[in-house]
């Protein structure tokens, strides 16, 4: 019997956007004349709120970090929320597939922006140590078009180019842990809003500039980690932070069979677990990176073994913590990673 996947509750985002009720409950009443952006999770709702400012009401479908988007079952209230959307924002890549059914059942014609696209891109491939392929290609202001079909509803955009930074997330869908990809997606959001609300186009571009400046600060910190620790091996219990690990220039030495089993809530093969424990005992990793919101017996053993071996453990969350913006959250993650590597 596979182990239970333990989910530790993290409070839903409290500020920075309008939360129209928690997932599974009826949305709060809103101004019928307000332009409404509906996002699958609080991560994308917060980024959208940064770009839209006061020009739109932003509503996440999943407003509670205790809910796993992989397993989320949409409700009748969610149908009403999606039906009221003027713009939909999703992660894609199988992470929030429940939105597909909501789009089909409501028949909404609202534009859909998807962070993970299915379009093929030219560029330089980066293998993410079993956690997915990265394609990097810088190209100024160009954004590729993706056509992900939702029962006949085509997605208008994907985010796979940011100043030439292209991504293929067929395996690791946790694209929000790639700051460059989120800068690209913010630009897509700003462009779409400018088309839909042209009177506020200047505001959207100003807000995008501020957001992009925040991303650039995070990327500067990541460059600092690369300069000092490039090639340092790290072990990640799940692939959630895979893109951040890559951006920091670190080497993910986690056996794919381990991280995949943990992510799927399955038993880790005993031989694979032994390999991981031996790697830790031999100090084959400079840090262990764990998902603070999920876990199980195997990850507990790995974390305990790291503590015993004196290897620092840094915990990241999969969902946006209470009261933080995306930029604050990701900036803190980078700081925590740098501190762990310095021990």
Whichever domain contains 278, its CATH number is 3.40.50.1980
Residues 110 and 146 in one domain: yes
Residues 238 and 162 in one domain: no
- Within a domain: residue 138? yes
Q: What share of the chain has pLDDT > 70, as a percent?
A: 75
Confidence band for 269, pLDDT divided at 50, 70 and 90: very high
Helix extents (H) in 84-172:
98-106
- Within a domain: residue 311? yes
- Within a domain: residue 159? yes
- Within a domain: residue 1? no
Provide the pLDDT for residue 64.
Answer: 80
Residues 302 and 320 in one domain: yes
Summarize pLDDT for 155-164 with one digit per residue, the tens.
Answer: 444 444 434 3
d(Cα 128, Cα 65) in Å, to the nearest integer? Answer: 26
- Within a domain: residue 120? yes
Residues 179 and 239 in one domain: no
Q: What share of the chain has pLDDT > 90, as a percent?
A: 63
Summarize pLDDT for 74-90 with one digit per residue, the tens.
Answer: 999 999 999 999 999 99
Provide the pLDDT for residue 11.
Answer: 31
- Within a domain: residue 336? yes
* Alpha carbon of residue 336 to chain centroid: 18
Residues 26 and 60 in one domain: yes
- Within a domain: residue 55? yes
Residues 172 and 299 in one domain: no
From 182, 198, 221, the end of a domain falls on 221
Residues 263 and 289 in one domain: yes
In which domain, by residue range, is 205 found?
6-221
Residues 100 and 215 in one domain: yes
Average confidence (pLDDT) over 110-126: 59
Residues 185 and 309 in one domain: no
pLDDT at 144 over 50: no
**DSSP conformation class of 241:** G
Q: What is the largest distance, in Å, between two alpha-carbon atoms of the chain?
A: 62
Q: Count up the domains in the chain and report the number.
A: 2
Residues 200 and 284 in one domain: no
- Within a domain: residue 190? yes
Summarize pLDDT for 43-69 with one digit per residue, the tens.
Answer: 999 999 999 999 999 999 999 877 778
Average confidence (pLDDT) over 126-136: 36
112: nearest Cα among 120, 103, 121, 123: 103
d(Cα 333, Cα 343) in Å, to the nearest integer? Answer: 16
Angle (nearest 5°) at CA 55 between 53 and 61: 75
Q: Phi/psi at 213 (nearest 5 deg)?
A: -60, -40
Q: Judging by beta carbons within 10 Å of its beta carbon (0-12, 13-18, 19+), is residue 202 exposed, middle or buried?
A: exposed
From 203, 221, 239, the end of a domain falls on 221
Contact in structure between 62 and 197 (CB atoms under 8 Å): no
Summarize pLDDT for 158-193 with one digit per residue, the tens.
Answer: 444 434 333 343 558 999 999 999 999 999 999 999
Provide the pLDDT for residue 31.
Answer: 55
Structure tokens at 323: 């009261």
Residues 54 and 76 in one domain: yes
From 221, 252, 273, the end of a domain falls on 221
Contact in structure between 272 and 255 (CB atoms under 8 Å): yes
Residues 186 and 237 in one domain: no
Mean pLDDT score of the chain: 80
Collect all residues with Cβ–Cβ distance below 8 Å to 174 and sequence separation of at least 6. 95, 239, 240, 241, 242, 243, 318
Provide the pLDDT for residue 6.
Answer: 31
User: Among positive and negative, which fits the CA dihedral 326, 332, 335, 336?
Assistant: negative
Contact in structure between 5 and 294 (CB atoms under 8 Å): yes
The end-to-end CA distance of the chain, in Å, is 38
114: nearest Cα among 160, 72, 77: 160
């Amino acid at each position: 019997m596979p182990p239970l996947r333990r989910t530790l509750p993290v409070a839903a985002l409290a500020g920075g956007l309008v939360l129209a009720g928690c997932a599974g409950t009826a949305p709060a009443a809103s101004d019928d004349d307000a332009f409404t952006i509906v996002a699958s999770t609080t991560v994308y709702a917060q980024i959208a709120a940064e770009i839209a400012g006061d020009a739109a009401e932003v509503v996440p479908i999943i407003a509670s970090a205790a809910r796993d988007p992989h397993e989320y079952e949409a409700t009748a209230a969610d149908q009403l929320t999606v039906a009221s959307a003027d713009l939909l924002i999703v992660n894609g890549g199988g992470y929030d597939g429940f939105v597909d059914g909501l789009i089909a059942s409501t028949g909404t014609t609202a534009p859909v922006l998807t962070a993970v696209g299915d379009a093929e891109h030219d560029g330089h491939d980066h293998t993410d140590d079993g956690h997915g392929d990265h394609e990097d290609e810088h190209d100024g202001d160009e954004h590729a078009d993706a056509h992900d079909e939702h029962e006949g509803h085509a997605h208008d955009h994907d985010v796979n180019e940011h100043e030439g930074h292209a991504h293929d997330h067929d395996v690791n869908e946790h694209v929000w842990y790639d700051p460059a990809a989120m800068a690209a997606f913010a630009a897509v959001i700003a462009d779409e809003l400018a088309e839909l609300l042209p009177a506020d186009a200047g505001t959207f571009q100003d807000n995008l500039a501020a957001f992009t400046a925040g991303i650039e600060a995070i990327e500067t910190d990541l460059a600092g980690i690369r300069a000092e620790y490039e090639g340092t091996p790290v072990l990640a219990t799940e692939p959630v932070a895979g893109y951040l690990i890559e951006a920091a220039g670190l080497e993910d030495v986690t056996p794919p069979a381990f991280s995949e089993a943990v992510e799927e809530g399955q038993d880790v093969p005993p031989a694979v677990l032994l390999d991981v424990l031996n790697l830790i005992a031999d100090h084959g990793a400079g840090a262990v990176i764990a998902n603070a919101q999920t876990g199980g017996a195997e990850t507990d053993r790995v974390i305990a073994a790291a503590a015993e071996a004196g290897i620092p453990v840094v915990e990241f969350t999969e969902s946006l913590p209470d009261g933080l913006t995306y930029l604050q959250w990701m900036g803190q993650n980078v700081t925590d990673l740098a501190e762990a590597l310095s021990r």
